[in-house]
Amino acid sequence: MEKNKKTFIAANIIILGLVSFFTDISTEMVYPILPIYLTSVMGATPAIIGIIEGLAESLASIIKLLSGIIADKYGNKKRLAFIGYSSSVINKIIILASVTWTGVLLARIVDRFGKGIRTAPRDALIAESSIKSQLGKAYGLHKGFDLLGTAAGILLAFFILSKNANNYRKIFLYSLIPAAIGIIFVLFVKDNRKKISGKIISFNWKSLDKRLKLFLVFIFVFTLGNSSNAFILLRAYNAGFTVQNAILLYFLFNIVASVLSYPFGHLSDKFGRKNILCTGYFLYGIVYFGIGLFSDKTLFIILFIIYGIYTALTTGIERALIVEIVPETQKASALGLHAAIAGIGLLPASIIAGILWDLTGQSTPFILGGILAFITSIGVFIIFSTPSLPRAAALCR
């Protein structure tokens, strides 16, 4: 029985990883070229890009929390994930049909709305399919698949553009294929949790561990400086990188993050989450200051590598930390709240970045992001250096 359980656990995490792998191939074939497509083909300004990215993320953010609450109440995590991943196909169809930036805005909203539906249920499925002492490895493995798909999508976009300069529509069309494959893989995911009958699960902010509340507050502060990656790509383009080379920089960032996500997740299982997370936020600050203040191409390459290290140090480990602290019946809700906070913060973050870019120059948004990252690193370190619960102290040391 134990052997079958371990097989189920391993299989489910790998299948969920493959779902994210193919979906992210599709998404990232489009995402890195979208800001350049909007500015060069549709005449959008950086401020408009900020509005598009911010609205797309923030309008879907509330869905992340609601989807998590629904998943906890009804146990329908697989069904919600399937609906959410289906949006990846619809999104590409809308982009292909769009003739103005407002159509692209609609497409991004559909895409992020779908992500809002799937994120919390999927992350809860990973937690339920993982051994408790290996949550960091489980989330690290999934994130590794996710980022490997991102890197593969970027590379495909690069090769298609190299052979068909500025043929963006061909990329949009080809991106439908991996999106459809990802949806098929969802069908093989096992959802081993049942509806908790006769009991209404309500998510109560007041019942959360105080340090988790403070952690989420600092995540919001951090997000205010964490504007869309579209601005980083546009900054690289303005620093002298061609469209194709800017895409390769984005590929480099993702492949580094993909390779390192699993080992860093494993390290967090052995040594705790706090120090690894704080190191990640600090590195983010260095990256944003560097991108904002310098235009040297060699330095940009180094900074994109460090950006990949930051991602591996934080993305999956934040989720592992949250899952360990919240009650068993509120995992999806808490994960949805975390995702919602980050998404809500992205609207003002991207709008502020776009406005600052237009009014004060391209360096200012990155300097702001760097300052807020340093504040978050210090804040999170202090929060989890003062334990209020013995169990959580051991988990986050």
CATH number of the domain encompassing residue 384 = 1.20.1250.20
Taking the C-alpha atoms of residue 335 and residue 61, their distance in angstroms, rounded to an integer, is: 12
Res 6 pLDDT > 70: no
Assess if residue 337 is contained within a domain.
yes
pLDDT of residue 193: 56
The domain of 87 spans 2-192+203-396
Give the residue-averaged pLDDT of 310-323. Answer: 93
Instruction: Identify which of 56, 23, 59 has the alpha carbon closest to the alpha carbon of residue 38.
Output: 56
pLDDT of residue 242: 85
pLDDT of residue 222: 95
pLDDT digits (tens, 9 = 90+) for 241-270: 987 788 788 889 989 999 999 999 999 998
Query: 221 and 376 in contact (C-beta within 8 Å)?
Result: yes
Q: Identity (one letter) of the amino acid at 132?
A: K
Q: Which residue has the higher pLDDT, 390 or 322?
A: 322
Res 188 pLDDT > 70: yes
Assess if residue 333 is contained within a domain.
yes
Mean pLDDT of the chain: 84
Assess if residue 50 is contained within a domain.
yes
Give exposure, 292-325, as e/b (b: 16+ Cβ within 10 Å): beebeeeebbebbbbbbbbbbbbbbbbbbbbbbb
Assess if residue 12 is contained within a domain.
yes
Handedness of CA 236, 240, 244, 248 (dihedral sign): negative
- What is the distance between the terminal CA atoms of the chain, rounded to a whole angstrom? 34
pLDDT digits (tens, 9 = 90+) for 30-84: 877 777 777 777 777 777 777 776 677 666 777 888 888 888 888 889 999 999 9
Assess if residue 198 is contained within a domain.
no
Assess if residue 133 is contained within a domain.
yes
Which contiguous run of DSSP H or E holds residue 48?
helix 46-74
Q: Identity (one letter) of the amino acid at 101?
A: W
pLDDT of residue 96: 87
pLDDT of residue 1: 42
Share of the chain above pLDDT 70, in %: 90
pLDDT of residue 393: 43
Task: Pick from 122-126, 130-134, 255-259, 281-285 the range whose average pLDDT is largest.
Answer: 281-285
How many structural domains compose the chain?
1
Give Cα 104 to chain centroid, integer Å. Answer: 20
Query: Whose structure tokens read 């529509």?
Result: 169
Res 395 pLDDT > 60: no
pLDDT of residue 391: 44
Instruction: Identify which of 58, 77, 59 has the alpha carbon closest to the alpha carbon of residue 67.
Output: 77
Taking the C-alpha atoms of residue 138 and residue 332, their distance in angstroms, rounded to an integer, is: 16
Query: 304 and 32 in contact (C-beta within 8 Å)?
Result: no
Assess if residue 197 is contained within a domain.
no
Assess if residue 258 is contained within a domain.
yes
Both tokens of 79, joined, read: 């069904």
pLDDT of residue 305: 96
